[in-house]
Structure 1
Amino acid sequence: MFPDLDTPAARAAAILKEIRAVSAGHVAGYGEIARRAGMPGRARLVAQVLRKYGAPDLPWYRILRSDGSIAFPAGSSSYREQGQRLRAEGVRVVKGRVVGLKATASVDEQIWGPA
């Protein structure tokens, strides 16, 4: 059951809770976080919440685009930091894209589970 998502604060809290639930060595897409928080289709809201409510203890670097790539501009300090943090957790990152892990489950995986 999803929490009451009528207020911006409630939506932000639900999104932050799901970001914190992504464990070390794993990644999730912005859209996947939105879906888990009870707001499918609100990937941009996840990015907005990260920008506005980011905290030092928040594992923001585990959140990627649905294709597994880092959303920051290539070469920026945030881009480099995200790649370094992911690598420190054992995630393979090549040219700004995570290799070997999926950022978002496919529709089939969401319905039927992993193969």
Structure 2
Amino acid sequence: MRIQVPEGSTEVKGAVRVQPRENVYLLSFVTGERTAESMVEDLRPDSPLTVAGESSSSLSGKGFEHLGLTAPQEIKGVRTASACPPCVGDSRRRHIQGIEIHVGEAKGQRVRLYLTAY
């Protein structure tokens, strides 16, 4: 994904889910709210983070469960967005077709950022 995990982040977990057509890259960590929002902005999402509806679908759920994390779509009040690096000319991530972004509450005043790229 070519994402630098911010200094001071905790509970960093990542994996690559190998699939026949394309690999799916998973990254999750806990950080401060402002840091997460800054990172989301840098990914140039199609629209701002919004609270996911109950019927929200996601590519990432099973992968994050495999990492011992609650699937992001199971977190009440999780905010989501998506980004298309090629659509906005983000040359840093030209090998990525799309990124799913989930931001859910964590302990204290921190949030867990879930990123799924394919």
Please indicate, yes or no, whether the TM-score normalized by the shorter chain is above 0.5: no
- Name the structure with the higher strand share: 2
TM-score range, shorter chain: under 0.3
Q: Which of structures 1 and 2 has the bigger CA Rg?
A: 1
User: Using CA pairs below 8 Å that are at least 6 residues apart, which structure has the higher relative contact order?
Assistant: 2
